[in-house]
Structure 1
């Protein structure tokens, strides 16, 4: 009997060890496209053992060779097409770093094969594309995530936590500012600039490139509640640099008891990604990635201010590819409307679609609930 118990315990230990090892196997990831310069995020990432880049799709050999020299990946893993890369490397997931227009094609190719997909923001160039992507993801039971830089900001998560705890009272207004001097002024490479300033491949200019950040954060703060109305204006203040698209967008969202102003600009003198949250009794200022202030009202214009210097979030909540691996391994389950989720980003696309329509027509757009 003792020998039986010993062998049973040993068997359980061995099985558990194998299960732990299996869980720690890196997710095999294919990179589709190199023209989006956010691709340096994954190519230059330290090896954490959670993912393994097994293949890259990029028909532009010159671009692939430049990045191969920069990051040290072998050209033997670079393929001209998704079909070739998938057939040769069998990825479990792909990350899309091409044009936003190409996101639909990536999902059309990968979803029927059971390959999970993470795209760079925004989810799609249009609500029509987004709905097709959603249908494919749901039909084939794949994860479809959208990556935003601001998802990984500790300041945004602290702001969310403070708001939901009632620290500044009921929400009344949010102002979200994102952008920089403009793609050409900050010196993005030609391969990126060519499509980032194209109304078809990017779906628009600053309104898409940076308007999506505000729509994403506001949908998260509102726990998935859609705005009642969307009003937007766009301008082109750098026609010499952005002849085909807007470079200035202001989007106003109204809710039952609050509103939001999204300022998405390629005309800021200084690059920024920050957010102000105003409640009935105070305000939260997420000034940058790691710094946050809380002001509590005193009298007419007085206040007490508390400053927070925030540490990075723990893994896998501090990195898009760590999160992707954790979701695939069922170690993390995304809540319905958090920033990376498909549910959140479908609402983002409704907001962006309405914003473009509002800017084109000069009218406020009411969203269907």
Structure 2
């Protein structure tokens, strides 16, 4: 049986620090060649050429796509640049593997989603945590009704800060520029939380948001601490918060509170308190208030880029359907929810998410 023709991939944009791990993950997949890069900054092009032998260098994505025979592009440019890049690729019949979020604003994201629909092309918006097995495991628990009907959920995301976590100057430059990134920690981090909660609880109907800038190194108008109250169309409520600059980790990642119990999702374990007499198969008994039972299961964090690279390539090679949460349609809904958050912060009122 003949070996499959290698998938030829070009990289557009090197200013997102995610790009280096994503390139490595793609190159680790069988029958894949990363053959070209388009990036205006010479120092970044030189770094990429040093990491990938034989890489063709271009300054502009259009010239790269015209000069190279590409099957797909990996897009890790600033958020506001993504619509033009994605549309140019899709119009050429080139598939798009895109770092999150879809764009800087809902209007820009709609341009990408419309191009996907118009061309019938493949575009994956990689909310990286969507490929952690935790997402499927917790989603199945919620669907199995271990807490009954979910009435309230929480999602948290945060890190020690841009400088403290070693975010590069090239990345920071546009992450802290609203016109290029779309906002601050909310647009950067809340998409992970919203994508997961929408996958479990359905579309977002309304958001009320709050924002603060705590670190004096963050430019005015860019938030580094956020909180939002979310109402899903299903009736479930949720609270999400994000931070650039917290002391120590946030061990709790998600919690789900329902008519029959509470499920807490930590970095290293799941915990359930329920009115049922029996917990999920294989879980250990744990402490619980009188009249309830408690259950616990240890987990190992497993988020990585290899699974998402393999998922994109399966869709490209074999037509395997994308996970719903990484499609352009889902990413557009999340982007519109993010827009509603920023409008709520500006107006001081709850905002309905555009349909």
Deviation of 1:126 (Å): 0.8
**Contact kept in structure 2, 1:232 and 1:250, CA below 8 Å:** yes
Deviation of 1:262 (Å): 1.0
The 10-residue stretch of structure 1 (294-303 or 228-237) with the greater mean CA deviation from structure 2? 294-303
- Name the SS for the 2:124 alignment partner: strand
Aligned counterpart for 1:249 among listed residues 202, 207, 226: 226
Alpha-carbon distance in 2 for matches of 1:110, 1:131: 16
**Contact kept in structure 1, 2:336 and 2:354, CA below 8 Å:** no
Deviation of 1:133 (Å): 0.8
Deviation of 1:331 (Å): 4.9
Unpaired runs of 5+ in structure 1?
A: 1-16
Which whole-Å deviations, capped at 9, do the CAs of 1:241-290 have from their partners, x for residues lacking one? 343411111111113431111111113223558221222222223323x6
How is 1:14-53 mapped onto 2 (pairs within 5 angstroms)? 17-18=1-2, 21-22=3-4, 25-45=5-25, 47-53=28-34
1:307 aligns with 2:297: yes
Which whole-Å deviations, capped at 9, do the CAs of 1:122-163 have from their partners, x for residues lacking one? 111111101111111111111121112211212121100111
1:109 aligns with 2:66: no
Which whole-Å deviations, capped at 9, do the CAs of 1:172-204 have from their partners, x for residues lacking one? 111111121221232211111111111111000
How is 1:69-148 mapped onto 2 (pairs within 5 angstroms)? 69=50, 72-74=51-53, 76-148=55-127
The 10-residue stretch of structure 1 (38-47 or 349-358) with the greater mean CA deviation from structure 2? 38-47
Alpha-carbon distance in 2 for matches of 1:242, 1:277: 35
Aligned to 1:352: 338
Which has more radius of gyration? 1
Deviation of 1:305 (Å): 2.0
- Name the SS for the 2:80 alignment partner: coil
**Contact kept in structure 2, 1:55 and 1:78, CA below 8 Å:** yes
Aligned counterpart for 1:210 among listed residues 182, 189, 201: 189
TM-score (norm 1): 0.85
- Name the SS for the 2:74 alignment partner: strand
- Name the SS for the 2:179 alignment partner: coil
Inter-CA distance 242–51: structure 2 relative to 1 (3 Å threshold): farther
1:61 aligns with 2:47: no
- Name the SS for the 1:339 alignment partner: helix
Aligned to 2:278: none
Which whole-Å deviations, capped at 9, do the CAs of 1:295-319 have from their partners, x for residues lacking one? 3345568541221325859x9x962
User: What's the C-alpha RMSD, in Å, of the aligned pairs?
Assistant: 2.4
Aligned counterpart for 1:267 among listed residues 226, 239, 245: 245
Inter-CA distance 270–149: structure 2 relative to 1 (3 Å threshold): farther
